[in-house]
Amino acid sequence: MAVDRRQQIIDAATNSFSLFGYKATTIDQVAKLANVGKGTIYTFFKNKEELFDEIINDLIKEMKEVANDAVNPSDSFYENVHRALYKLLEFRKKHQLTIKLSQEARDIGTPAVLEVMEKLELAILNFIKDKVILAIQKGEIKDCDPEITSFIMMKLYIALIFDWEKKNEPLNKAEISELFEFYLFRGLST
Amino acid sequence: MAVDRRQQIIDAATNSFSLFGYKATTIDQVAKLANVGKGTIYTFFKNKEELFDEIINDLIKEMKEVANDAVNPSDSFYENVHRALYKLLEFRKKHQLTIKLSQEARDIGTPAVLEVMEKLELAILNFIKDKVILAIQKGEIKDCDPEITSFIMMKLYIALIFDWEKKNEPLNKAEISELFEFYLFRGLST
DNA sequence: CAAATGACCAATCGGATAAAATGGTCATTC
DNA sequence: GAATGACCATTTTATCCGATTGGTCATTTG
């Protein structure tokens, strides 16, 4: 059986990263899990970090799909951004690999993992930024700096989904949607 | 000369905490700096942490003054909150002791320091919450949950002052004021 | 002979242990 | 009786050394 050795390696590594994190995953272990000699891994990937990068790029691709699936052109900008951001952050919150990597970033601070987490955030940020630019062009929202606007949207979302529940009862999806709309779109002024 | 031994100790400890942080400050060191026997410290304070707490309570008092000074009853709610939050976070950003403690919380995670930083955040949060409640009563802003509103205001401010400049050119006071007003008060909707 | 392999190597990690430092006490001093 | 610093139990830090790890490459295999 001519199995795809490269894919076997990626699958094994993804599994191990998800279970044990980046640092605690050894190349020996990946080789064993992939039923492959250790040297073989180095014929496909320059080193451990490049293997990691490839897996993260797959993850980002997956996230882009999730985000795009959440967008429905006939809905409003606000509705779409809300659904996309919510789905993205829920994805991040539930996906084994991202959970493990978040922990590792927080508890150990492995440099390669910190880098990768920034890359993930940036991917989300850019996705939102594109939507913001489009919405401005269509006149769906006021003219504003897309960079800052997407930054604030993500910060607000992270605050509502992750930070708020550190000290309070978690907010459900409907509440978050409402708050997002209330504060960012309608505004506080009377 | 009947110097105030208690105040001497507090001054010495404040100095040492500011320079070296909580963990790296030893009671022996504080005693030396305060020109006081080590045992004397324990006649005024039950232990190291209580001495620390007293210093932090002084700091919070100082912060409350800064915040109150920034408030001018004849100005709008938005204007006052902006000035107060800005002053508070600038204070935190420039004050030796808070800088050192932020570093220690991030790099070492000393439990006593983490606790204290939460206490600081909570003090700010409560200050803002009171202002929000008043503003709702006066009809200066829409009816909303003061808890969530103050939480979001602070998160937005921290994002604009601390987080934004990790990746971009820092925003000046006027820009922050403008963004604060634009996103939170006027809203994005057209 | 090209792809796969695992013994091998230098570098890093981590557990064990001993030494130093620290928070806190209390008998003695002033 | 307030102040002190030698003293103690506990924690932290430094040091060592065997185990582990990422990565290489001469050898094997299909």
Cβ B89 vs Cβ B125: under 8 Å: no
What pLDDT sits at residue B4? 87
Instruction: Look at residue A2 and tell me whether its pLDDT is greater than 60.
Output: no
Q: What average pLDDT does the segment B130-143 reach?
A: 94
> In Å, how far are B48, B49, B53, B128 from B112, measured between CA atoms?
10, 7, 9, 25
Question: Angle, to 10 degrees, between the axis of helix A5-20 and the axis of helix A96-107?
Answer: 50
* A20 at B interface, C-beta within 8 A: no
Q: What average pLDDT does the segment B15-36 reach?
A: 97
Q: Please report which confidence band the pLDDT of residue B32 belongs to, taking 50, 70 and 90 as the band edges.
A: very high
Residue from A39, A21, A23, A20 nearest A31 by CA? A39
What pLDDT sits at residue B77? 92
What pLDDT sits at residue A28? 97
pLDDT digits 0-9 by tens, A67-83: 999 999 999 998 999 99
Task: Return d(Cα B126, Cα B124) in angstroms, integer.
Answer: 5
Residues of chain B with CATH 1.10.10.60: 1-45
**C2 C1' – A39 CA distance, angstroms?**
14
Distance from CA of B155 to the nearest CA of A (A): 7
* A62 at B interface, C-beta within 8 A: no
pLDDT digits 0-9 by tens, B73-106: 999 998 999 999 999 999 999 999 999 999 999 9
| Chain centre distance of CA A28 | 28
* B172 at A interface, C-beta within 8 A: no
Instruction: Look at residue B118 and tell me whether its pLDDT is greater than 80.
Output: yes
Percentage with pLDDT > 90 across chain B = 94
Q: What average pLDDT does the segment A26-51 reach?
A: 97
Whether the CB of B48 is less than 7 Å away from nucleic strand C comes out as yes
What pLDDT sits at residue B1? 44
CA of A40: nearest nucleotide by C1' is C4
Q: Please report which confidence band the pLDDT of residue A137 belongs to, taking 50, 70 and 90 as the band edges.
A: very high
Residues of chain A with CATH 1.10.357.10: 49-186
Task: Return d(Cα A167, Cα A98) in angstroms, integer.
Answer: 22
Q: Do A151 and B159 touch (CB under 8 A)?
A: yes
Q: Do A189 and B189 touch (CB under 8 A)?
A: no
Percentage with pLDDT > 70 across chain B = 98
What pLDDT sits at residue B25? 98
Correct CATH for B49-186 of 1.10.357.10, 1.10.287.110, 3.40.250.10, 3.40.50.800 = 1.10.357.10
How is domain B1-45 classified at the CATH fold level?
Arc Repressor Mutant, subunit A (1.10.10)
Task: Return d(Cα B144, Cα B86) in angstroms, integer.
Answer: 22
Neighbours of B63 (CB within 10 A): 20
Cβ-Cβ contacts under 8 Å, B149 against chain A: 183, 188
pLDDT digits 0-9 by tens, A106-127: 999 999 999 999 999 999 999 9
For residue B109, give the chain A residue with the closest CA. A107
Q: Do A151 and B139 touch (CB under 8 A)?
A: no
Total residue count of chain B as it appears in this document? 190
Percentage with pLDDT > 70 across chain A = 98
Closest by Cβ to B164, choosing from A151, A185, A186: A151
Average pLDDT, chain A: 94
Instruction: Look at residue B2 and tell me whether its pLDDT is greater than 60.
Output: no
For residue A175, give the chain B residue with the closest CA. B148
Distance in Å from the first CA to the final CA of chain B:
70
Instruction: Look at residue A179 and tell me whether its pLDDT is greater than 70.
Output: yes
> In Å, how far are B78, B89, B178 from B181, measured between CA atoms?
7, 17, 5
What pLDDT sits at residue A1? 42
Q: Do B188 and A149 touch (CB under 8 A)?
A: yes
**D25 C1' – A20 CA distance, angstroms?**
30
Q: What average pLDDT does the segment B1-24 reach?
A: 91
